[in-house]
Structure 1
Amino acid sequence: MLRILVLSAVVVLSSAQVRNCPDNDYGPRECTCTIVNLAGIDHRIIDCQGKSLPAVPAGIPADTFSLDLSNNAITELSADAFTSLNALEQLLLSGNQITAIPDGVFQSLEDVKVLRLNENGLTTLTNGMFSSLVALEKLDLDDNRIETITGSPFSGLARLRELRLNANRIINLPTAVFQGLAGLQKLFLHDNFITSVPSQAIRSLNTLIELHLENNDILTVGNDSFVGLTSMLNISLSGQPDLVEVQAFALRGVNRNLERLEIRDCPKLTILHEETFRDFTLLQRLDLSNNNISRLPKAALENLNRQALVTLSGNPWICDCRLSWLRDWMDEAVMNPDLLDINNVICDAPPKLKGQQLEIVNRFDLDDPDVCNLLNPAGQIGAGPVVVASLFSLFCALALSFAV
């Protein structure tokens, strides 16, 4: 599919006719004006990027198709900045110093499909802020300072397919924040300060196929966090410095369709529940690398798609009899050669196996009675549950013998 898309793009570009705009119809002199003809239709491209412009320049032709004002020094937008640009379909305002969006500034832009406002200084999103952009398909608000969101700023954007809110200062998302996004497919929220999966806010996004929550401050992924996301294919929860638990039924509702799941680089995540990945029959990629997981129950992975790529590297594995099932699984001929990232599953304990690849550890070493079941959950050799139980039984026996 990717190759087909690339070839299609090459054909389109090679068939396009590009020419400079005539002098009497050029637009702002500080900008570049070109006409691109595609399938017999002329598209005017006005490129003003990197010109140190303090404001949107005057004299932009009314038939402009694409306007690039990125990387300038624009601090504010006048209410009538784009009034005459009824043909505009792409507006690029990245890399300026815009701190607020005045009411009605996008009122005449009913055909705009792409709006980039990333790398500005926006702090607040207000109710209906973008509602007049009824044809919008992609909205980029990355790398701003957004921390306050009121009402439904994206209401009316039924055609929006991709929304980017990465690298802002968002802590909480109000329940109605995504109201009206009837066709949203990709939602990017990584590198914020979100403390929990915004379950109520995303519940109505039944067309969403991709959700990115990496590098936030999520503490627990609670049960039914993704209920309602019936089209979901890809979830990323990686890079949570304080994540301690993914609850047993956290992924209930998306498990039967999900194709990719990433929960990596979470240094406080130590355990996984047996039920968490149950019935993930279509999963193609599961990344659990670079966490602090030392044990993995067999039931956690036994119902996965057996051709899925599962990455377990970078965890402090305790290689004893309770992990012998994983060692056996690595030897199965039917497995995908990359399954379980087997070359990088390294033992952290017991001491005699520390640093060894689980793939090459002798099966009998895992069942060595001197270490099997003598490691407590913290990975230290000592009085584990079996030893404690044995000592308690011995104490009881001695007590009864003295009583007799």
Structure 2
Amino acid sequence: MRLLHLLPLLCLVVCAVDARKGVRGRRIRSQDRSNGIKRFAADCKESWINGEKYFDCQERQLTSVLLGWPEDIHHLLLARNRIQVLRDNTFSHFQNLKSLDLQQNEISRIEEGAFNGLSKLTTLLLQHNHLKVASEGILIPMPQLKYLRLHDNPWRCDCQLDSLIRFIQVPSNRNIGNYARCAEPRDFSGRQLKKMDAELLCSPVQIPTPDDKQTPASQKKSDVISLCHSYIHPVLRLDCRNRDLKTVPADIPLDIVRLDLSKNNIKKLRQGEFTSIKDLKLLNLSGNSLESIDTAAFTGLLYLGELDLSNNSLRYFQYGVLEDLYFLKRLSLGDNPWICDYNIHYLIYWLKHHPDVSHTGLVCSEPEEFRGWPVENYVKTYNAECPKDKQLGQRPGTEPAGNTPLELTAEIDEEEVVSDLGPRPYRGPKKYEIIRLS
């Protein structure tokens, strides 16, 4: 009987515990929504940008796509993982996907149906992987594809690559497979897939024609851009950090918005280095031992908003270097050996007439008496008014009486003036009138 009386109490306790768990779960879910970023397995992050959902799983040591990821995402970022094979229907449940970033993995094989279901995909990044062969068939499920990056893969240019190369060379596919090159066989090594003669791929004897063969100089030039890492989302970005570059690459994609050239060996910026990338908004040139910048080096960068020139060997700017940067908002100048002499005045003059530009690191390095001074303070002392002439019989800070100019007389020995002109007869001291205009 006592047990019968205790049962209602036990039910009440259990119900209370369940209710607390439910409230706690709702609180956690509400906190996730309020933060705007959700975390999933492998510490991936979900976020919204401009009304589109991004799922960031970069640098997570992933070997495959995991179960349980949200299916309504628009942009899937899987760069810098350890994925080796893309199997059939790997992405078939992401039917809203617009971009897929798989660069810098270890992908060596893509099965025919790996991209099934991606009918809305416009951007596919497969550069910096281990791909040797692929066919046009893997691209059939993506009719909206506009951007395909394939460079820095060891492509074997033989009959197995015939359909892919012919697809790349269709004139309307202007952003498909740019910069991708053959790695083997030796006769075709270094040739661009875009320019490869497809008729030679399946011929039993491959004889390169003289016109099609790459010259060593042009091959080296194009290899520079293949070393860089490009990213499409959230903005078009090219990362060329620490690539031992001696000059600015000439074949930078025209639509790049952010360009990172830091930690290289670029010592001089020449005229018109960036005229082809007119949409550039951020340029990082820090850590390059940069010594000089030609006057027209930044010509064409009308929309550049941020310029980093820190940690270089700049001493001053030539007149006119910054005149094309109409929309610049941030200028980093620290860790440069700025010389505080007349040459530095242009930079201060330009900054004075562009008060919206935030700048940092402008400190005198030479000469020794100004070392550590802000350059602005040095220029103020340089332009300070000269002290007024000491005036006979006048107190400092007072003006002479009346509105007439102050007239002074002084005795000057004529011989001191003309002694080097030969002997003169002695005439005695002569008086001169010295007039100071107030």
TM-score, normalised by the number of residues in structure 1: 0.50
Compare CA radii of gyration and give the structure with the larger one. 2
User: TM-score when scaled to structure 2?
Assistant: 0.46
Which of the pair is proportionally richer in helix? 2
